[in-house]
Structure 1
Amino acid sequence: MGTFRNLDKLLDSFTQGPIPGCACVVMQNNEIIHESYSGYADIEKGSKINDRSIFRQASTTKLFTYAIGMMLFEEGAFRFTDPIYDFLPEWKNTTKYVQVPGHGPEVVPVENPITIRDAFTMSCGLPYCMRPLDHVTDNPTVNAMSEAVRPYCTDGKIPTLRDEVRAMGSVPIMFEPGTHWLYGLGSEIVGAIVEVITGKSVRQNMKERLIEPLGLKDTATFLDDEMLGRLVTCYFITPDKKKEPMPEEMDDILKIGGTPEYSRANLNCSCRDFAVFMSMLANGGRYKGERLLGRKTIDLMRTNQLGPEQLKDFWHYNGVDILGYGYGMGVRTLLDKASGASNGSIGAFGWSGGYGSWAEASPEDKLSIVYMHNTQGEHNELFHVKVRDVVYGCIE
């Protein structure tokens, strides 16, 4: 069996290479069993990564959104077979593009409406294009999305989540709902449905349903000055391997009083806090005596929802770090240890984010693993799978 010294050494090897700083927290049975911190939160200032460092979560925020959606499901607020237009009437008359030989793409009505299940499983046919483009692409759906959201982005305005989702209701989608997997607007649709059902923003739902009950003191969607002071600097890695800090103005949307209705309820948190959230999922929805989500509901969440053709899409899009995994209700879920060359447990599930975060919950082991670093686009999968493999090697 490996030891956690191997994990410490692994993180140190990352920060001796392209990664400025990183952190990893491992919990089992709702207790921290190991923490590793290595490298710099800010190279120029010489500040080190530690247990209070705040990391941008980007797409790992989706795990919070989907968990809240699963809470509403077990409260009876919807069924996954419900069409999204029951909650978002703008989507009543959805259309799709079809390729007609000799004529290019034509718009026709969908055969079946987009369901809530399609939104949770990224099978609704809409990629990401949340701001107007200054050029035409070769994807007619992306071009239509660009024009649909343009009226909401004039004079420097930023659309709300409901504005974005409402605008996209008129866009012809890329394929018949439920027939392919495509990373895109699904989580935003789920978020909009959460807002309609609860009458509260996704941010407020995160605070009331997860952040406060779990006691996550170092987690927020907007940051006050004290938390901004602990926010790690994010670096872009240039082609010649230099580390360039992200422009400071890119963090304006994170500041209290900046853009309160900004559609993305992007989380910012410590590695410890996110590990607590994942530990709750790994332990049947319970943390420190508090039950937030049912064990059977979590089992549904981590059950693969994709058919053979959708799985091909999923593997093709995500690359080597997703081999062996399927996709459940908003999460990757391990189906096959052999094809993924993984020493983890079947049914372990989670997601990752564009700034380097990676999270996994293993109900079989009552284990959560959360890793974070502070770069964007530096072949994250090469680091994530190594962390996964080393941690599982340490578990009895």
Structure 2
Amino acid sequence: MFSKIDEAMQRYVDDEILPGVSYQILKGSEIVHAGQVGYADIESKTPLQDDAIFRIASNTKLMTSVVLMMLYERGSFDLNDPLANYLPEFTDMLVLPKDAARIEDATPAANPILIRHLLSHSAGLSYGFVEPDSIIDQAYNAASLGGLAGIDTDLETYTHALARLPLAFEPGSGWRYSVATDVCARLVEVLSGQKFDVCLAKMLLEPLGLIDTGFFVPEDKISRLTTLYTPVHPFEPMKSGLTVAPMFGERASTQKPKFLSGGGGLVSTLPDYSRFIQMIINDGHWGGRQYLLPETLKLMRENQLAEGVVVNFPFWPMPGTVFGLGFALKEKPSEAESALAVNEYHWGGLMGTHSWIAPQADIAALCFTQRFPGFWHPYSHEFKRLVYEAAEIGF
């Protein structure tokens, strides 16, 4: 039943489009199929194993969002609380008018950033690479605050610097992929009184048994870290040819980074991340412990965007997609997508790690590779299409 999926993933490796792929398919919260093809390192011909460690980039965001919502359940904050109640540096923010010609054209924002805005990327923050020629992203990059800037400071220092930049739009009035989840990580620190990595480990990673997930790779596990590759032809995603990514060619640091990015800093394995996804599928319960209440997860799967606002990337079309609290939500599948995809919730990482849950079909799937850029690469679309085709037949 799953042979088409196995063959397709192997083809991407054979055609030198991907170094290797590790994947799982779930029915309910039970793993019904898993596979690994290709290499963890092409040059040494090291086979990809099921315990391979991946840089999961923006898949980190789901874990950060879950921990923040665990604090929400404890009564630490309300979703409609102004962010400035907890991070006063975000008081009296400025916003860029639509006709702004320069960063100095910013005017006082009429509304405060609410915590629900952070979780839904509707706060007006940006990322530095979404529209690199825009005034706002140029400002982020000039201040070394963008998502690819190699930030070397702690979260507190980062948020203070970030708050000095204007917003791209009035909070709650639009959607823009952003560093908002890094701000969520700082909010976790303030609410918990702990450093973000400590709180994440105590509340989620350790009790869930995610032994290979963290902000750095210990020396005794470095041999399991996959090499990150970039395409020789970056604008032709289906053309053969890979080379070690120059930005990340060195093995990941064995020391904890200064910047504990809640938006993209974690490494993990497919089995670790799969257990996290299984907990979510299982209404927040796993191993005799309730991490989130079912009603909280339901709230996270509800659209938080203003009327008429949808998820929109200039270079990654995502039709029929809105955003909840940490999750992208598929409201209306396109004609090219399975009808079973309605209400699917998901996210992925820039280096090629993807996960999604489809309640209509009672299935979920994960596919991990290490290609930069790898978010929304055709391999993930084909993998998803083939999984849905198998689900339509029945498994």
What is the CA–CA distance in structure 1 between the aligned matches of 2:202 and 2:111, rounded to whole Å? Answer: 35
Unaligned regions of 5+ residues in structure 1, if any? 131-136, 151-155
TM-score, length-scaled by structure 2: 0.88
Q: Indicate whether 1:142 and 2:141 are aligned.
A: no
Separation of aligned partners in 1, 2:280 and 2:100: 48
The 1:103–1:220 alpha-carbon spacing in structure 2 relative to 1, beyond 3 Å, is: closer
The structure that is helix-richer by fraction is 1
Structure 1 residues 199 and 62: alpha-carbon distance in aligned structure 2, compared to 1, 3 A threshold: same
2:379 is aligned to 383
After superposition, the Cα gap between the structure-2 partners of 1:103 and 1:208, relative to the gap in structure 1 and judged at 3 Å, is: closer
Give secondary structure in 2 for the equivalent of 1:82.
Answer: coil
Whether 1:256 aligns to 2:261 is no
- Equivalent-residue separation in structure 2 for 1:113 and 1:246 (angstroms): 40
Aligned residue number for residue 10 of structure 1: 8
Q: 1:16 to 1:94 in 2, by over 3 A?
A: same
TM-superposed deviation, 1:383: 1.5
The structure-2 alpha-carbon separation of the partners of 1:378 and 1:212, relative to structure 1 and needing over 3 Å to count, comes to closer
Task: Give, in angstroms, the shift of residue 293 of structure 1.
Answer: 0.9
Q: Is the 8 A contact 1:221 1:268 kept in 2?
A: yes
Structure-to-structure mapping, 1:30-41, within 5 angstroms: 30-41=29-40
Deviation string for 1:352-375 (max 9, x for gaps)? 101100011234555331110111
Secondary structure class of the residue paired with 1:264 = coil
> Which amino acid in the other structure matches residue 70 of structure 2?
M
- Asked if 1:176 corresponds to 2:170, the answer is yes
Using the alignment, how far apart are the partners of 2:309 and 2:90 within structure 1?
23
The answer to whether the Cα contact below 8 Å between 1:122 and 1:184 also exists between their aligned partners in 2 is yes
What SS does the aligned partner of 1:293 have? Answer: coil
Q: Quick check: 1:291 aligned with 2:290? A: yes
Q: How far apart, CA to CA, are the structure 1 residues paired with 2:86 and 2:247? A: 38
Instruction: State the match for 1:198 in structure 2.
Output: 192
* 1:333 paired residue number: 329
Summarize the Cα distance change of 1:376–1:40 in structure 2 as closer, same or farther, 3 Å threshold: same
Q: Identify unmatched segments of 5+ residues in structure 2.
A: 234-238
1:393 to 385, 389, 394: 389
Which residue identity does 1:225 align to in structure 2? E
SS at match of 1:36: strand
Q: 1:205 to 1:54 in 2, by over 3 A?
A: same
CA distance in 1 between partners of 2:135 and 2:6 (Å): 48
Contact 2:172 2:306 in 1 (8 A): no
Cα deviation, residue 194, structure 1: 0.9
The CA deviation string for residues 79-130 of structure 1, in whole angstroms up to 9 with x for no partner, is 1111100010011111112256899962211111111111111111121249
**Which deviates further from its counterpart, 44-53 or 261-270?**
261-270
Alpha-carbon distance between aligned partners in 1 of 2:64 and 2:289, rounded to the nearest angstrom: 19
Query: 1:287-338 deviations in whole A, cap 9, x for unaligned?
Result: 2332111111111111122234421xx2344634x22322111211121134
Aligned residue runs from structure 1 range 1-396, under 5 A: 3-17=1-15, 18-99=17-98, 106-129=105-128, 139-146=134-141, 158-239=152-233, 241-247=240-246, 251=250, 254-257=252-255, 259=257, 261-265=258-262, 266-311=265-310, 314-317=311-314, 319-320=316-317, 322-339=318-335, 341-378=337-374, 380-395=376-391, 396=394
Which residue of structure 2 aligns with residue 133 of structure 1? none
Displacement of 1:347 = 2.2
Q: Do the aligned partners of 2:340 and 2:360 also contact (CA within 8 Å) in 1? A: no
Alpha-carbon distance in structure 1 between the residues aligned to 2:161 and 2:28: 44
Whether contact under 8 Å (2:24, 2:33) holds in the other structure is yes
Amino acid at match of 2:332: D
Counterpart of 1:236, as a letter, is: T
The range that moved more, 20-29 or 190-199, is: 20-29
Q: How many residues align?
A: 378
Inter-partner Cα distance in structure 2 for 1:128 and 1:199: 27
Does the 8 Å contact 2:27/2:363 carry over to 1? yes
Give the Å deviation of 1:61: 0.6
In structure 2, relative to structure 1, the CA distance for the partners of 1:176 and 1:5 (3 Å cut) is same
The separation in 2 between residues aligned to 1:96 and 1:106, in whole angstroms, is 9
Q: Distance in 1 between matches of 2:101 and 2:50?
A: 60
Q: Secondary structure at the match of 1:329?
A: coil
Q: Which residue of 1 aligns with 2:236?
A: none
Contact 2:103 2:139 in 1 (8 A): no
Q: Indicate the RMSD between aligned Cα atoms, in angstroms.
A: 2.6
Q: Quick one: structure 1 residues 157 and 316, their matched pair in 2 at CA, closer, same or farther if it must change by over 3 Å?
A: closer
